[in-house]
Amino acid sequence: MGRLWHLLFNLVLLTVIVSALSLIVLRSFSSLQFYYTVLLEPSVLRPSNSTLLQFAAIEFNEAREKKDIDRLLEGKFDRLGRYPSIKSRQRQMSNENYKILSEFRKPLLDWSLNKRFEPDIMLNLTELVKRPVDRHYGLPDSNDRYGSCAVVGNSGILMKTEYGKLIDSQDFVIRLNNARINGFESHVGSKTNLSFVNSNILHFCARRPNCYCHPYGGKVPLIMYICQPVHFMDYTICNSSHSAPLLITDARLDNLCARIVKYYSAKDFVEETGKSLDEWGPAHDVVEFHYSSGMQAIVLALGICDKVSIFGFGKSAEATHHYHTNQKAELGLHDYAAEYKFYDDLIERPQVIPFLSDRFKVPTVVLYH
């Protein structure tokens, strides 16, 4: 009988030991699984914010652009294969025009020397943009910002709205890439204080007599960002015939916009696809990737306006890409979805936007759909 009880005791003890060991193993496995799924996976699939910031600061086109700038400053146009019209233009120029063309090096050099990251550029935009525009219009010379501004995009969704009067009621109206307004006034308004274009627009205008590039009238100032350094040639020639100011965005503002858009694009890419940052480049045209004209116009407005109202940004399956053309598809070199998330943050969470100076306060932003 004693032997039987001893056997039963051993069996119970063994069962307890096995159960305890199983519980320990199970807990260890659960902890390991938690460590892998919660701690390891995000670090692999989701780069840290500092990694995204470093990635956004990379200038993939820097070497090629620097080479082009150097050759232009040296007066060597023959090897700029992407610009075959340069040599023919040189042959056709009169002595007077050639003198003008030789002067393009100064603005090109000034622009190239400013190609750096400087977040405080947002604090200088009233001096760089607003004051020259105000002097042209005969307004008091002041660094005070405009009370209210409208940035009017070109999305086809504008045709479903009647924002014309609201747009015209703003103190300052910025329009993009010479979009036509005749016949669309009830949707887009008729007032224009500043025309914001990319330099490809001016390059096209430069073929016209006297570089005519004023769909809103010859008194409206024009500001452009440089897509290709060689476009300083068009700027120099056209600037001599424009009565209204022809301004160029500061390269420091270009740098800031490029970083912001690349940050939002890369962040959106890894979060939406689960892929690594290394795969962002092949998914985009990494060398040609660029912010849109509308995005930079909005950032410019942030620096010169106390309130920024945004119209004509967004898309719809029923709307054309531009209200004034039949274009349906977006350009592949822009990431509009990432830019829309930037606009959302401007409205709802401006404190999370990267690269802006702590000294700069984002003004009130309203997006009209």
3-state secondary structure (DSSP) of residue 172: strand
pLDDT tens for each residue of 308-338: 999 999 887 676 767 767 766 666 689 999 9
| Residue 138: inside a domain | yes
Q: How much of the chain, in percent, has pLDDT values that exceed 70?
A: 78
| Residue 90: inside a domain | no
| Residue 29: inside a domain | no
CA 143 – CA 126 distance, rounded (Å):
6
Q: What is the pLDDT of residue 343?
A: 98
Q: What is the pLDDT of residue 28?
A: 41
pTM, two decimal places:
0.84
Cα distances (Å, whole numbers) of residue 99 to 79, 105, 218: 22, 11, 25
| Residue 54: inside a domain | no
Q: Provide mean pLDDT across the span 238-257.
A: 94
Q: What is the pLDDT of residue 328?
A: 63
| Residue 104: inside a domain | no
pLDDT tens for each residue of 98-145: 666 678 889 999 999 999 999 999 999 999 999 999 999 999 999 999
Question: pLDDT band for position 68 (50/70/90)?
Answer: very high
Number of domains in the chain: 1
Q: What is the pLDDT of residue 46?
A: 66
Is a pLDDT exceeding 90 seen at residue 349? Answer: yes
| Residue 81: inside a domain | no
| Residue 283: inside a domain | yes
Q: Provide mean pLDDT across the span 271-288.
A: 91
Is a pLDDT exceeding 70 seen at residue 97? Answer: no
For residue 303, the enclosing domain spans 119-368
**DSSP secondary structure letters along 47-79:** --HHHHHHHHT--TTHHHHHHHHHHHHTT--TT
Rg, the chain, Cα only: 29
| Residue 204: inside a domain | yes
**CATH number of the domain enclosing 353:** 3.90.1480
